[in-house]
Structure 1
Amino acid sequence: MSHFWRLKMMLTWLAVATAIVFDASSLFAASPQVVRPAQPVGGPTVVQLNQQDGPHILLRLDMADMIDRRLRATRGDIRTLLMGAKIGFNGLAVSGKAVQVRITDPAQIDAAKTALSPITAPAADGGVREMTLDGSEPGLLNFLLSDEGLKHQTSIAIAQCIEVIKNRLQELGVAGPVVQTTDQDGILIQTAGVPDLQILGNILTRPGRLSFQLIDLSMPVMDAINGRLPVGSLVLYTQDDPPIPYLIEKRVVLSDKNVLDAKASYNAQGDEPVVVFRLDSKGTAWFRQITAQNVGKPFAVILDDSVISAPVIREPIDSGFGQISGNFTVQEAKNIALLLRTGPLPARLTIAEEAR
């Protein structure tokens, strides 16, 4: 297990440039902003996998993860639309390839269908109707992910994954890679001169999702594990041995979407590799507000669904620069910074094949 997971990492915010051995603004002065991949108008070109094509990695889209994320997003949209229309509901849940919700007042069924019409509207970028509505059971609205919708979402996810992979390969300095689809859910990466394809594949398939979320102090975490979780919270673990549990509020205070740039550097003493990142204006303002409201309370730094740090908010954080520190190797700090610069994958990828 790497040092990255062995330690309790510490998040230190850079309030003034004199607190560190470099000027944070000058560190990022020549760095371009991260460009998130846009949703494609058409799908990527599909090629056939040829075993004689030389060194390559074949990745597969985790369809279950992609479907789950799409349905959870739909569940959130349904909640927002019904609350905005002041329509009572219960039983909002994901079930199979559908999201269902029960309208508490039968007289509001038609109003609910009108409020939720954006859920079944054709997608703006392709005209595909991703969700269909089954209202055959009285009071119950069942939104199903259509076959066309699944195919459309798969095409979008593959195209976005390819953009993230290309950015990561460029950041790693891999020369002349070819990245193409092989079929509906496969991505073929052909490259030469890489000494360890397994290490490369592990970096390319890391989700790279970073978030900052408040820790729920309403009950001891073991009570939540052994009893009933508070509404709006979940239990996440560190990757220590044994893992340490934390009761985390589901609300995301800050995410990787607010990170403009990230670089590996050193701490103020110059003896420890760290990851320094720069926030956008929205992230800076939002985090300033949240930290001002929660002084003295802990929050969690979460990378790929694992808690990597749980510092206490000592004062309002109003700087646009942050520093993640721990007992990193130089390479670990570079890898984390790379993930933050290139952005997260839209869905999980698995390594299906490696050929040297």
Structure 2
Amino acid sequence: MLNLSRWKVILVILSVVFGVLFTLPNLLPEATRAQLPGFMPKKTLNLGLDLQGGSSLLYEVDLVALRAERLTNLIEDVRKTLTDEQVPFADLGQVNGAIVVRITDPAQFDKAQRVLRENIGGTTPSGARDVAVTTADGGRIRIALVEQAFEAAASSAVDQSIEVIRRRIDQLGTREPNIVRQGRNRISIQAAGESDPEKLKSIVGQTAKLTFQMVDESVPLQDAANGRIPPGSELLPSEDGLTPVLLVRKRAEVTGEMLVTAQAVFDSQTNRPAVSFRMNGQGARRFAAITSQNIGKRFAIVLDKRVISAPVIQGVIPSGNGQITGNFTTESAEELAVLLRAGALPAQLKVEEQKTVGAELGADAVKAGQLSTAVGFVAILLFMLVAYGFLFGGISIIALIINGLLIIATMSMTQATLTLPGIAGLILTLAVAVDANVLIYERMRDELRAGRSVLASMDAGFSRAMSTIIDANVTTILAALIMFQFGAGPVKGFAWTLSIGVVTSVFSAVLVTQVLLAWWFRATRPKTLPIV
């Protein structure tokens, strides 16, 4: 105890300074925090949905629609491949969840099989094909999705959806949204502080799949509306204000994946809200090629199977820069720009559950958490003072206060989300922290009763209780890590707070207590310990 290492003293002082600096912003009004010097931390605790209110949504990725879209794309790929290879075919369509096409020239049947196997579909990470091309009766070829490959693609679609949703919500300014996967194809979203679930749904749930498709003018629009739709084309609702529907080619010439950025602007000619965009290198090249080959023809800008506008191509657009005009308001133009910047969802989402937590309910939860923490702290304080006296009990309480500062400071610095279960973890941490002090103090008592000196008893209290303290806290942090890994939402909040608390409690209960007792011992040189 007398030979206390200098590094221990420095570490304790630095930890106290860290705890005070990063906890202080939580006690100051926002206006005061804004006036703090630049080197001072300004981050506060990030309260979860249950503490500050917000919106909770549960989405399901529509795998049925994803499969249907894959099959539709396969049909167009088969049509283009056979046409490019000049293989005559007929009766191309879906049959029992697969694509079937009849080759009308038997002499080219083998060639058709070969080119379809080489050009249709893609490969899985293992190198296997994701579609199976087989022979069917009557000169037909069957193209089917490989189920294992589709399941892998579906799982990837869920993961991609989570990342797209996260980017979209981040652009709304919502801090630390809790977005986790549930089961095979569900996504849970908790956006604390976002009180308008409809706004959240409009941003999150829209697929935002942008495509540029040529308008099909081979048949009159009225004939197409009456059912005479040419193969390879589709009739889509139009929002350009000219016609209610528009016939467009199914094949997308340019897609939204090629966008680099999108911004809400005002059209220089009409002064109406619009969205400007810029393509990457590949998109710019394809945009230039399409516009050069189709001057005088209409080019439909399609968002989620709705035609936003269909301007006439007046000339070559080599730069890949363009502008989307339509019946936009300032807000809807900004919303579309956010969606395009974040990227399109790989599959449609269906709302399974929607909940809103009011700010008043969150405030009540905060008050309840504060009260329970205060009650727990006072109970621990009284116990330690009664059991170990004002000196040793008081030192353990000082260590406990430093522990609390370190927990709040660490969570503020890392912007970890504090939830109501997290407050429960904080209260549990307080009890675990004094448990280490109890082990140390009881060991000191045992050594004094065995006739050892004051200094030897204090040294033994720390050294011999240390293995028990480490064992107890290692098992606790392992349990917390397991909960954090496999839990979701509130369970993770509890586990994270508990994990931080375990580390800080061992530090404060052992190192802080040791430094304070060493200073007391050097100052007073007691003959007995006021602990027996």
TM range (shorter): 0.7 to 0.9
Match of 2:238 in 1: 238
- In structure 1, C-alpha distance between the alignment counterparts of 2:269 and 2:139, rounded to whole Å: 64
| Range 344-353 or range 196-205, more displaced | 196-205
- In structure 2, C-alpha distance between the alignment counterparts of 1:136 and 1:109, rounded to whole Å: 11
Match of 1:265 in 2: 265
Match of 2:292 in 1: 292
| Range 149-158 or range 56-65, more displaced | 149-158
Equivalences for 1:1-356 in 2 at 5 Å?
55-83=55-83, 87-118=87-118, 123-126=123-126, 130-239=130-239, 244-268=244-268, 272-326=272-326, 328-356=328-356
| Residues 216 and 233, structure 2, Cα contact 8 Å, conserved in 1 | yes
| Residues 287 and 317, structure 1, Cα contact 8 Å, conserved in 2 | yes
Structure 2 vs 1, CA of residues 289 and 133 (structure 1 numbering), >3 Å: closer, same or farther? Answer: closer
Query: What is the Cα deviation at residue 176 of structure 1?
Result: 0.8
- The aligned amino acid for 2:253 is V
Structure 2 vs 1, CA of residues 120 and 84 (structure 1 numbering), >3 Å: closer, same or farther? Answer: closer
Match of 2:448 in 1: none
Q: Computing the radius of gyration over CA atoms, which structure comes out larger, 1 or 2?
A: 2
Query: What is the Cα deviation at residue 218 of structure 1?
Result: 2.5
Structure 2 vs 1, CA of residues 198 and 333 (structure 1 numbering), >3 Å: closer, same or farther? Answer: same
| Residues 60 and 350, structure 2, Cα contact 8 Å, conserved in 1 | yes
- In structure 2, C-alpha distance between the alignment counterparts of 1:270 and 1:222, rounded to whole Å: 30
| Residues 120 and 129, structure 1, Cα contact 8 Å, conserved in 2 | no
| Residues 65 and 348, structure 1, Cα contact 8 Å, conserved in 2 | yes
| Residues 239 and 309, structure 2, Cα contact 8 Å, conserved in 1 | no
Report Cα offsets for 1:103-143 as digits up to 9, x if no partner: 33445444444443358999331456643455352422223
- The aligned amino acid for 1:56 is S
Report Cα offsets for 1:232-290 as digits up to 9, x if no partner: 32222225899612222334333212211011233438964332211223333333333
Query: What is the Cα deviation at residue 194 of structure 1?
Result: 0.7
Aligned-residue RMSD, C-alpha: 3.2
Match of 1:4 in 2: none
Q: Point out where structure 2 has 5 or more consecutive residues left out of the alignment.
A: 1-49, 357-532
Query: What is the Cα deviation at residue 227 of structure 1?
Result: 4.9
Report Cα offsets for 1:279-303 as digits up to 9, x if no partner: 2233333333333343333332221
Give the alignment's TM-score, normalised by structure 1.
Answer: 0.74
Match of 2:360 in 1: none
- The aligned amino acid for 1:278 is R
Query: What is the Cα deviation at residue 83 of structure 1?
Result: 5.0
| Residues 59 and 349, structure 2, Cα contact 8 Å, conserved in 1 | yes
- The aligned amino acid for 1:300 is A
SS of residue matched to 1:296: coil
Report Cα offsets for 1:199-244 as digits up to 9, x if no partner: 2022111111222223222332002222522333222222589961
Structure 2 vs 1, CA of residues 288 and 149 (structure 1 numbering), >3 Å: closer, same or farther? Answer: closer
SS of residue matched to 1:316: coil
SS of residue matched to 1:157: helix
Query: What is the Cα deviation at residue 197 of structure 1?
Result: 1.7
Structure 2 vs 1, CA of residues 342 and 242 (structure 1 numbering), >3 Å: closer, same or farther? Answer: same
Match of 1:6 in 2: none
- In structure 2, C-alpha distance between the alignment counterparts of 1:241 and 1:291, rounded to whole Å: 23
Instruction: Identify the structure with the greater strand proportion.
Output: 1
- The aligned amino acid for 1:98 is A
Query: What is the Cα deviation at residue 181 of structure 1?
Result: 1.3
| Residues 128 and 152, structure 1, Cα contact 8 Å, conserved in 2 | no
- In structure 1, C-alpha distance between the alignment counterparts of 2:151 and 2:227, rounded to whole Å: 40
| Residues 102 and 141, structure 2, Cα contact 8 Å, conserved in 1 | yes
- The aligned amino acid for 1:197 is P
> Among the aligned pairs, what percent are the same residue?
36
Structure 2 vs 1, CA of residues 260 and 131 (structure 1 numbering), >3 Å: closer, same or farther? Answer: same
| Residues 232 and 250, structure 1, Cα contact 8 Å, conserved in 2 | yes
- In structure 2, C-alpha distance between the alignment counterparts of 1:328 and 1:172, rounded to whole Å: 19
- The aligned amino acid for 2:258 is N
| Residues 254 and 283, structure 1, Cα contact 8 Å, conserved in 2 | yes
| Range 224-233 or range 234-243, more displaced | 234-243
- In structure 1, C-alpha distance between the alignment counterparts of 2:84 and 2:251, rounded to whole Å: 19
- In structure 1, C-alpha distance between the alignment counterparts of 2:150 and 2:188, rounded to whole Å: 21
Structure 2 vs 1, CA of residues 94 and 294 (structure 1 numbering), >3 Å: closer, same or farther? Answer: same
- In structure 1, C-alpha distance between the alignment counterparts of 2:258 and 2:251, rounded to whole Å: 15
- In structure 1, C-alpha distance between the alignment counterparts of 2:290 and 2:110, rounded to whole Å: 38
Q: Point out where structure 1 has 5 or more consecutive residues left out of the alignment.
A: 1-50
Instruction: Identify the structure with the greater helix proportion.
Output: 2
Query: What is the Cα deviation at residue 327 of structure 1?
Result: 5.3
Query: What is the Cα deviation at residue 159 of structure 1?
Result: 1.3
- In structure 1, C-alpha distance between the alignment counterparts of 2:178 and 2:199, rounded to whole Å: 18
SS of residue matched to 1:314: coil
Structure 2 vs 1, CA of residues 253 and 84 (structure 1 numbering), >3 Å: closer, same or farther? Answer: closer
